[in-house]
Chains A and B, each alone.
Chain A
Amino acid sequence: MKFPQLSVFIENRPGHLIEPCRLLAAAGINIVALALAETQKYGILRLIVRDWQKAKEVLETNGFRVSVTEVLAIQVQDRPGGLVAVLEPIAAAGLNVEYMYAFATKMGDQAVLVFRFEDPDAALRALKGSTVPFVDTVELFSRATRE
């Protein structure tokens, strides 16, 4: 399903990645999934956390630039061709995957991937006809915290 992802601007220099992680740790916020996109000079830390409003506030109060984006969590069979099954209807609908990354946790033989689309609703519609299972927010976080 759709749920919010936080993106944090960080400079690509030693010690700059640890600071937001420290702040979240001190606030008792667990990072459920994350991905780091980097250029030579800076990077974007993308985070999935349960209490994203609190995380955003903590980070912004400490001077970080944070934005909120809606992403999709989609369950993928953890076997050859699992990802293809998800990407096919997307490609058929002419939609572009902006970026994607995987959750650390798995459920049985299912992996959970995070997808960023320009238009998440269009992607949802495209996937509806296929057999691709979505993960709803509650299930996602309960699984993440059980670990």
Chain B
Amino acid sequence: MSHAPAVGLENRCSADAPSQADFLPWATLRQQQDARLRNTVRLAHDKVPLYRQRFEAAGLTPDDVRGVDDLAKLPFVTKEDLRDAYPLGLFAVPMEEVIRLHASSGTTGRQVLVPYTRADLAVWTEAMVRTLTLAGVGRGDVVQNAYGYGLFTGGLGVHYAAEALGATVIPMSGGNAARQIAVMRDFGATVICCTPSFFLQLIDRAEELGIALRGLRLRVGVFGAEPWSEEMRQRIQQAAGIEAFDIYGLAEIVGPGVAAECPVHCGLHVLEDLFFPEIIDPASGQPLGEGEVGELVLTTLAKQAMPMLRYRTGDITALESGECPCGRTLRRMRRVSHRCDDVFIVRGVNVFPSQIESALLAVKGTLPHYQIVLTEEDGVERAEVQVEVTPEMFSDRIGVLEELQDTLSRKVAQAVGVHLDVRLVEPRSLARSEGKARRVLDQRPSSG
């Protein structure tokens, strides 16, 4: 293909010899980004009607974008655009060039179909190889992959990269906590890959089964696909005796592999030679400077089947370009604490699930599975935090549970500034999709 971006598998790497692409001098990286962006813009404009129409409406031609500094001229692509284009509207190549289809997990609405050419899968595998390498995963490791296999990108994304690294892969997929723990113990897994909320379930289950995770060979956890807090990291690391790494990605861009933590754990290195990040003010759409908190916007620099120009991720973070002690030159994004969609308003107050998470953790030192349910009765909004009872919380005495419920309610009110009811519910009674926690359930009539 004439438009094929210049990306191959030149970046073979391992834990001992990480990818050169992670350490490029700034000017070299910028040159590569500019060249790849020009290719991507040309491809998107020529092959995807939506981009062509948007360029024309803005009075732009592909030649107006010479490099990433010109990105701000381009209009955004939103999740709504992707939904409107469902299923095939944003394909830049004919179906016979597509060798894999995935779909976004649909936690926030209708799913989005994501196509990959052979070259796209190579890019993805490279990105995930670099992601796992950042966490020190390599040959000799036994990788228990508990991300869901299927349309969800987590399972296969980890799978092929771990194989490419020469690690031993256990393709568990999600669910069945008891079996996961037995396999972890019997097969000597050294690495677990799953959503952080699923790993919390594994911690609880192991406790119930009387198996000490700290006594197993497990040493690294690669956790992503949902926002999780620093408190949750501490809880995971202490309970399981592992080092927990945060990874970031989304199907619309590639799947997991967009950004990942190095052992310094000071933000996630964005693989910006492949996926270019910007931060914007979510209200005005104006670009924000370094260190400023706003919405992450991503542009793919090396994808063919569905190139993305300025995709609004809905994730809130900030970019830092200071030198990282690990030596990588890739900029770091702060850990995503919440998504734009996650924020909900109760009686005029903005509330983030991460605030509630911190409050819950403060009470018993453990993070129970929880969900916020919004309802409306006779025009009065009600928000209820439903909390699954953990072993640490449970008591045979009503008084103790009532006091706990009151304390939780008080802590939550302190954290968010508005009173939310707290209700204790049975374990495993709250919904999870693809092992992803669904934190907010809006049942108010206006939410549609």
Contacts and interface: CB of A to CB of B under 8 A. Distances in A.
B398 A9 contact: no
A65 B391 contact: yes
B396 A46 contact: yes
Interface of A: prevailing SS? strand
A3 to B, nearest CB: 14
B429 interface: yes
Interface string B373-394: 0000000000000000111001
Contacts of A39: 398, 401-402
B208 A9 contact: no
A5 B396 contact: yes
A61 B178 CA distance: 9
A42 B428 contact: no
A63 B428 contact: yes
B402 A11 contact: no
Contacts, number: 53
A141 interface: no
A130 interface: no
Interface string B91-122: 00000000000000000000000000000000
Interface residues of B, number: 19
A101 to B, nearest CB: 12
Candidate in A11, A61, A69, A99 with the most chain B CB atoms within 10 angstroms: A11
Nearest to B399: A98
A41 B397 contact: no
Contacts of B391: 65, 67
A42 B401 contact: yes
Nearest to A16: B426
B321 interface: no
A47 to B, nearest CB: 10
B426 A65 contact: yes
Given A7-B394, A65-B394, A67-B395, 4 more contacts: A9-B426, A37-B398, A44-B396, A61-B178
Ranked nearest first, the 5 interchain pairs of A and B with the lowest CB-CB distance are A7-B396, A63-B428, A69-B396, A65-B389, A65-B394
Interface of A: 5, 7, 9-11, 16, 37, 39, 41-42, 44, 46, 60-61, 63-67, 69, 98-99, 116
